[in-house]
Structure 1
């Protein structure tokens, strides 16, 4: 019981479909979804566009039908993701996920036909259709769908690609999850030999004892190495499928699709990375100082998350929840209301137990208008930040709850904006409320770790992935070469600051194997720096900024990021100024840390 409220650390999934992976209600939902998808397919296929403005009503009706189908499939996908995350040993989940993937592919086929039919309209007629009242609010997203369809293959060819992707593409992503579920990391705890799940093992990289971190890392490398050949094949087949699809469409740049998905110009991405590359020196100095404080010549990979000094004690889950709510309340009522609801209504799965998947995520159940948040809470300041981060994702969907369903599909780069913004509120508050200089250093270091992760670790992922895809164009890239590419990317991204790297990072990082979004890396860094710009504005304007912040979040799925920044922040993302100011905020933390640890 905390301040009159009960905060739950195990989520409730039965409210959606009772019975978990054995739920009859969920099987009924899947059956019902299949029928509705088939009905939608028939409507789309039988529709003959007349290239007249009067088609507006028919288009509006099809969009209304799409909303219903999309919500059903999203509800199912969210449920299956939660089932897998809470228990990676649940054998029934794989079959359920396969059914959801098939439904998604069927819907995608119907949408491919719909989008292709939009391309049959003359440009002038199309502009007139979009002016009609019913479709007016959907102008951006419908225009985007039509333009993207014009750059793809024919309807028949794209439909074939979607059908083949079930087993030839998404199947490989699901295989990765299966392989990871079998991995156990050996760890000697005193005289007892234990087997840790990858989630439990990754938590130990923030252990204050270097011997513990080193032992876990050795077991970690050993375990991933045993599966490396399987994972190498998986990664190569995923990339091969993508590259063949791009080749058929005539797309030469592997970044074309991820940039399209993120509604972002190449110039913006290049400018962001250039500013970061030019600003690496202070972060290298930080890593060198951290090494001294830890009593080593140079940090190894397993030292990156090591705490400096000691925070007085571990926080309980309830204390972490209280802290988040208290500091959200200083920003705005809506954000606080959402967080309290998540803690009190069993929307969060945070219990530290074996069998859970590693990492954290937020997912949304659109038919129920509820979020679910997943993580493993072990009482560290970093755990509290992660919890705030995922609540930020949840608040983003909450802020958009009244938007048309088509105007809620925001891209990953802006999705990371709300999460990082929430995380910054909590991290800043932690540093300011430190009980003594030693604790302040420890908390400041924890905050800087995020800058290192977003500006160095993510950079290494981006460098690795772009180079891997270039080599994959010429054939399969072997395990040893993947290790080399990964290590080279890490050395470059970290400015040579480490004594030991993690060549198998490509294998242990789920993000390289996600099929839904290619290049699941640079959007994190974009979101981090973009949110720093918003955070600075919020601090300038003080109380009352929440309303403007919500207005920005509501626009995240209905304009490009360049338009969003221009409208709400009055900045040009293709130029270095904005990015330099954002990175400077990270450097200011480093300078304070260096001063305190002189």
Structure 2
């Protein structure tokens, strides 16, 4: 059965609530652990259906924001989400108060109850209307950015469609394409300012209503972070400034020489004078090559990718009306993941076929768990699977880049390292924003520029007004839609680099560690999953420096002058 043939329906919210309330009653009156565990299984079965239909509605809208039917379904599930959340909050409370906790832990593990405890800290019925407003504002950001129409060289493009011009070998083309991009953002600046200002103030109000000082603590609970907090993250960011920023600054100086430029500007994002590596062949060819690659990587990945292809569980190519970006979602009713992206002819197309496939493979490998809660880990752990898969697939990059394979590897490593300061900057910015919810849009942009000077001191936007005024972060959807979901990428990248290092020494051992991590799903916390994979926690003293030293040596040994 292919994706378009999967059963979808609108659940009846009143019947669903009553069904769950009846299970709650049975759970509370249960006189044995077995009866409570049976009730948990009933709840889990319902959750699989609800989560699947919700995910399908969201995906269908992302695939075509101009489809009124898809929009209606997405809006329906958005509209019932807070009512459903209220019922799930009641479920969490009775589970938390169970007299058979020991038996439940024996059946499902401690993480299940830890997740419930975290969830209870993020909801109260009195914030229902505020949560509805938050969803509406997040959807408005999606509508605005997905509906972008940018005139460039006599044609109309969306944001993803401009991507190839940003990496063109002609400097003027790169500059003009970024000017067109930033003009669109400048034209929509007031709308984007207004959406974010409302989101920040709304999230602050939600936090205050729940008894928190500000949104930060609540934001961490929302992310399910049980074994670290803002202090650990702050120390990690400082290590990035100390160990990574100087190396990235040197890479920028090196790039200036490679490109034969007197000065580097933001639009000089290419790594090689004759252009960055581009995948060879049509999207169909790339998928076929990926299928061969995953068969050669392991039996598990071969079977997984065959399923993705045969059941049409990927929508990869950019087109009008499609939401920007890439992501992986899942349908637990059918035990299937789904990959969404916007191929645009750049090397990023291959990154999607490895990064998002890493997410999908982990989910596919975790469906053996009896609880749907364990099909995905927390976000920072989930990004380990995706970023590590990018490195595990290195031996097959020749299938996609042929003579440009070494160029791709250099860009991959240097780009992954250079990303760390940007990721830390986004995180630092968000902490400041939610500590100061009442500042003006201009003050936020001024703060962004201040942080840029710390994390990315070599950035120069030339005469691009929108970016020079500190607005570039408004194109980062995570800042609007998933607050605090960005440091996750830097933590995971640190772990992915460790897998890369291990894979160079003993590929079989590294792959077995990775497979064990994927199969564990969300059954453990971030720090415990890292231990399970035989990795060092990014929060441990010396971890980041050790990783960065190895990456720095690899980059220095790479003979880039021959490229």
Calculate the TM-score normalised by the size of structure 1. 0.83
Q: Is contact 2:289-2:399 (8 Å) kept? A: no
Pairwise CA RMSD:
3.0
CA distance, structure 2, for counterparts of residue 452 and residue 568 of structure 1 = 22
The yes-or-no answer on 1:93 pairing with 2:70 is yes
Q: From the superposition, tell whether residues 13 and 489 of structure 1 become closer, same or farther in structure 2 (CA, over 3 Å).
A: farther
Q: Give the match for residue 184 of structure 2.
A: 223
The yes-or-no answer on 1:354 pairing with 2:295 is no
1:128-167 deviation digits (Å, cap 9, x = unpaired):
x2332x65242323321453366567xxxx022134411x
Q: Give the match for residue 233 of structure 2.
A: 269
Q: Give the match for residue 131 of structure 1.
A: 102
The yes-or-no answer on 1:238 pairing with 2:199 is yes
Q: Displacement, 1:364?
A: 0.9
Q: Give the match for residue 18 of structure 2.
A: 38
CA distance, structure 2, for counterparts of residue 428 and residue 585 of structure 1 = 19
Q: Give the match for residue 15 of structure 1.
A: 5
The yes-or-no answer on 1:199 pairing with 2:160 is yes
Q: From the superposition, tell whether residues 440 and 409 of structure 1 become closer, same or farther in structure 2 (CA, over 3 Å).
A: closer
Q: Displacement, 1:223?
A: 0.9
Q: Displacement, 1:589?
A: 4.0
Q: From the superposition, tell whether residues 67 and 466 of structure 1 become closer, same or farther in structure 2 (CA, over 3 Å).
A: same
Pick from 112, 115, 118 the counterpart of residue 142 of structure 1.
Answer: 112
CA distance, structure 2, for counterparts of residue 152 and residue 359 of structure 1 = 28
Q: Is contact 2:499-2:510 (8 Å) kept? A: no
CA distance, structure 1, for counterparts of residue 135 and residue 447 of structure 2 = 25
Give 3-state SS (helix, strand or coil) of 2:67's partner.
coil
Q: From the superposition, tell whether residues 33 and 177 of structure 1 become closer, same or farther in structure 2 (CA, over 3 Å).
A: same
Within 5 Å, which residues of 2 pair with 1:9-408?
13-17=3-7, 26=8, 29-32=9-12, 35-44=15-24, 46=25, 49=28, 54=31, 56-120=33-97, 125=99, 129-132=100-103, 135-148=105-118, 151=121, 158-166=124-132, 168-188=133-153, 193-252=154-213, 254-260=215-221, 261-266=224-229, 268-279=232-243, 280-305=245-270, 308-310=273-275, 311=277, 314-404=280-370, 405-408=372-375
CA distance, structure 2, for counterparts of residue 161 and residue 170 of structure 1 = 13
Give 3-state SS (helix, strand or coil) of 1:85's partner.
helix
CA distance, structure 2, for counterparts of residue 325 and residue 579 of structure 1 = 34
Q: Is contact 1:86-1:357 (8 Å) kept? A: yes
Q: Is contact 2:63-2:323 (8 Å) kept? A: yes
CA distance, structure 1, for counterparts of residue 291 and residue 338 of structure 2 = 17
Pick from 563, 575, 579 the counterpart of residue 528 of structure 2.
Answer: 563
The yes-or-no answer on 1:587 pairing with 2:552 is yes
Give 3-state SS (helix, strand or coil) of 1:375's partner.
strand
Give 3-state SS (helix, strand or coil) of 2:65's partner.
coil
The yes-or-no answer on 1:537 pairing with 2:536 is no
Q: Displacement, 1:372?
A: 1.8
The farther-off stretch of 285-294 and 531-540 is 531-540
Q: Is contact 1:263-1:411 (8 Å) kept? A: no
Gap regions ≥5 residues in structure 2 = none
CA distance, structure 2, for counterparts of residue 357 and residue 174 of structure 1 = 11
The farther-off stretch of 539-548 and 111-120 is 539-548
Q: From the superposition, tell whether residues 264 and 386 of structure 1 become closer, same or farther in structure 2 (CA, over 3 Å).
A: farther
Q: Displacement, 1:468?
A: 1.8
Pick from 478, 482, 491 the counterpart of residue 526 of structure 1.
Answer: 491
The farther-off stretch of 502-511 and 425-434 is 425-434
The farther-off stretch of 214-223 and 335-344 is 335-344
Pick from 436, 439, 443 the counterpart of residue 408 of structure 2.
Answer: 443
Within 5 Å, which residues of 2 pair with 1:475-554?
475-478=438-441, 480-500=442-462, 502=467, 503-514=470-481, 517-543=482-508, 545-554=510-519
Give 3-state SS (helix, strand or coil) of 2:457's partner.
coil
Calculate the TM-score normalised by the size of structure 2. 0.88
Q: Displacement, 1:536?
A: 2.9
CA distance, structure 2, for counterparts of residue 59 and residue 159 of structure 1 = 25
Q: Is contact 1:375-1:387 (8 Å) kept? A: no
Q: From the superposition, tell whether residues 449 and 105 of structure 1 become closer, same or farther in structure 2 (CA, over 3 Å).
A: farther
Gap regions ≥5 residues in structure 1 = 1-10, 18-25
Aligned residue pairs, count: 552
Q: Displacement, 1:412?
A: 0.8
